Amino acid sequence: MSTIRAMKPRTAAILAVAVIGGLAAAGALWKFANSDGSEIGAEGSGSSISTATPQASGTLVFHETPQVVPDLSFVNRDGREMSLADFRGQTVLLNIWATWCVPCREEMPSLDRLQAELGGSDFVVVPLSIDRGGIPAVAAFYQELGLTKVGIYVDESGRVFRKLGAVGIPTTLLIGPEGKELGRLVGPAEWDSPEMVALLRGQLQSAANVD
């Protein structure tokens, strides 16, 4: 006799629902990890890109060996085509986000403050939006929150999400001056916290010593 059949009908039903729900969740995760770049829009349409679960540490997870970053293309506020190669020689904090992502919206002011504190010839925050609404949607969001230090960068196609192997947004990569990924954080973070600023300053100092 099976475990479910030996149980009371109510208990068996609850267990069956839990098992089916677990299988459905696993399927959703697979679909999410193989995203086609669709998103949740104002119309409430379905999505295979979700908001990311924050890492318990809340800090960047560094790779033992710097990883090659695929070619990424996007546009800036003026609609000019750009790529990560345009930032070669700088340490880049690349943040993949969208205006419809609540955790992204909450962390964006801290990225703006981080750019104000550390931004310069050796470091830049690049918030790369995957909004289908493009530059107008992102520009309106910046104006709403009073973001003035970080630039506007947009990939309406969402291809950067797939190329980077992201599993949710926000996802943030720390990319060294040579264009290789040094570390990654999945989920939101307080980017201008004293601990995070000290960590990034240490990375900048290490890069300067290499030069």
Instruction: Cis check for the bond before 170: say yes or no (omega within 30 of 0).
Output: yes
Does the pLDDT at position 42 exceed 70? no
Domain spans in the chain, listed from the N-terminal domain onward: 3-33, 61-210
pLDDT per position as a tens digit, 117-165 = 999 999 999 999 999 999 999 999 999 999 999 999 999 999 999 999 9
What is the fold of 61-210? Glutaredoxin (3.40.30)
pLDDT per position as a tens digit, 191-204 = 999 999 999 999 99
On whether the pTM is more than 0.85, the answer is: no
Contact 100, 177 (CB under 8 A): no
Element (H, E) at 97: strand 91-97
